[in-house]
Structure 1
Amino acid sequence: MDDIRQYLDSTYLKTAAQANLTDEANREVVRSVINEAITEGFKLVMVRPDMVNMACQMITAAQSSVDVGTVIDFPDGDGGLDAKLAEAEEAIKNGADDLDFVADYKAFIDGDLIAVEAEILQCTRLGLRYGRVVKWIIEVAALTPEQIKGICALIKGVVTANADVTDYNSVFIKSSTGFYKTADGLPNGATPETIKIMMECAPPLAVKAAGGVRNYQEAIAMINMGVKRIGTSSAKAIADGGPAVSEGY
């Protein structure tokens, strides 16, 4: 297979409060994650929107080819279409290559398909217009298997009906934020079972496995299932063939 580093979106999305750090200390953690991505040659570094500009500057200064991704309407996805578009436009202006939108999975669960379809259409159209990669986070831990099938079908239907076939490989369906709170210690991210459903329902759109991929063997298993990207906070450990060194983003 290709270098596993080209599948890895090295991810750090904790706020200072979530990490129990000062703002500057948390910013230093982000800098270290960006520098590691540059040194290791990962496909992408995924950071919060307010860190995108710094990441782009560091990568440009290093003459690196690492892409920069960010999350939009994170982590709940219920901020509304206008907020999603405004945040995405700002991220594009700051240089983000990939836009990982949290789909309004709560609206989907509630049956408000018109609202979900509208955000998929408008936000995907915005990202593709600027040549960005668009990923839709569906939060599999919040959904039943049938709901995973349904939201994948909805996203695929909107994209394939409105985008050119040459754009399909720039739109992903992504499993998880990594921040969803589950009961009884159940997985809150990608599992073989949920990825299997996504791989059956998402193509021709690509799939990104995120949350819960914690070692090299799990990453290879996901790649063998057909995923094109893996979001992980332990990219170096995975690339080196070892276990994850941390959990959560």
Structure 2
Amino acid sequence: MDIREYLDSTYLKLSSQSGLTEEQTLEEVKKLTEQAIENHFYLVMIRPEYIKKVKEMILKVDSEVKVGTVIGFHEGSYTINEKVAEAQKAIENGVDELDYVINYEAFKMGDIDLIKNEFITGTSLGLKASKVVKWIIEVAALTDEQIKSICSYFSTWAQENFEKNDFGKIFVKSSTGFYKAEEGKPNGATFHAMEIMLKYSQPLPVKAAGGVRTYDEAVKMIKMGVKRIGTSSAKALSEKGNTNDSY
């Protein structure tokens, strides 16, 4: 199996999180992009402020690598208007895919109308611009029942509000990779969580992100039915290696 076509090669750390300067962070993003182009990964996932630069690098060499960014990252608590504004700017800057963080804390509080509005509004914006949209649910913050519930809602709302031929462009994604889980507990994708997501998100595709650390884990998730894998160690995984990175 050539897993490169499933990999979203990712760098989302702020300078304050990595201890790097702004210039050094940009260099890391450039290196990630060059590596993705060289290795033919599916996509590079970066912060919104780097979209233009990364897009220019990819177009300059006529590469097919896609550019994705995160919206409402990483807590998901931004208002819908803030998320829409951020997404619209990303679209104008040439992004190919939008990974929204759903307001999972509002969902846990029972505010289903709020997350329904986010899902429909954010998805509509992306689809109208011919973009792929992914919804990050942050599995480490949810119980099994909550994962089942939110995935079922997304499936229902997609089928009620969008065309069948658009379903493949509306992903449900496991994690940001930045959630602070309780000591010893995983903060991203697990086989158990992905199994629930795959079952209840149908007919929407699923992306595993956060915690996929070995080639064998990636292959197993792909065989389970996962369509994309977000990782900050795409090269290591593509070379059948392992990584200790959290994302």
Name the CA distance, whole Å, in 1 between partners of 2:127 and 2:156: 16
**1:146-185 alignment runs, 5 A limit:** 146-185=145-184
> Which residue number corresponds to residue 47 of structure 1?
46
> Which residue number corresponds to residue 245 of structure 2?
247
Name the CA distance, whole Å, in 2 between partners of 1:127 and 1:69: 12
User: 1:248 Cα deviation (Å)?
Assistant: 3.0
User: 1:43 Cα deviation (Å)?
Assistant: 0.3
SS at structure 1 position matched to 2:212: coil
Name the CA distance, whole Å, in 2 between partners of 1:160 and 1:44: 27
SS at structure 1 position matched to 2:202: coil
> Which residue number corresponds to residue 220 of structure 1?
219
Letter aligned with residue 152 of structure 1: C
Structure 2: runs of 5+ lacking an equivalent: none
Query: Which of structure 1's runs of 4+ aligned residues deviate more than 6 A?
Result: none
Name the CA distance, whole Å, in 2 between partners of 1:36 and 1:94: 22
> Which residue number corresponds to residue 35 of structure 2?
36
Letter aligned with residue 114 of structure 1: D
User: 1:185 Cα deviation (Å)?
Assistant: 2.2
1:76 and 2:75 are equivalent in the alignment = yes
Name the CA distance, whole Å, in 2 between partners of 1:225 and 1:178: 21
> Which residue number corresponds to residue 194 of structure 2?
195
Task: Map Cα deviations across residues 72-101 of structure 1 (whole Å, 9 max, x no partner).
Answer: 000011111000100000000011101000
User: 1:57 Cα deviation (Å)?
Assistant: 0.4
Name the CA distance, whole Å, in 1 between partners of 2:55 and 2:179: 28
User: 1:215 Cα deviation (Å)?
Assistant: 1.1
Letter aligned with residue 39 of structure 2: E
**1:66-105 alignment runs, 5 A limit:** 66-105=65-104
Letter aligned with residue 32 of structure 2: V
TM-score, normalised with respect to structure 1 = 0.98
> Which residue number corresponds to residue 24 of structure 1?
23
SS at structure 2 position matched to 1:75: coil
Letter aligned with residue 183 of structure 1: E
Name the CA distance, whole Å, in 2 between partners of 1:80 and 1:185: 32
> Which residue number corresponds to residue 10 of structure 2?
11
Letter aligned with residue 184 of structure 1: E
SS at structure 2 position matched to 1:173: strand
Q: Alignment identity in percent?
A: 51
Task: Map Cα deviations across residues 94-137 of structure 1 (whole Å, 9 max, x no partner).
Answer: 11101000001000000000000001000000000010000000
User: 1:158 Cα deviation (Å)?
Assistant: 1.1
Structure 1: runs of 5+ lacking an equivalent: none
Name the CA distance, whole Å, in 2 between partners of 1:55 and 1:83: 23
**How many residues matched?**
247
Letter aligned with residue 61 of structure 1: K
RMSD after superposition: 0.8
Name the CA distance, whole Å, in 2 between partners of 1:126 and 1:156: 18
Name the CA distance, whole Å, in 2 between partners of 1:98 and 1:175: 16
> Which residue number corresponds to residue 234 of structure 1?
233
SS at structure 2 position matched to 1:157: helix
SS at structure 2 position matched to 1:230: strand
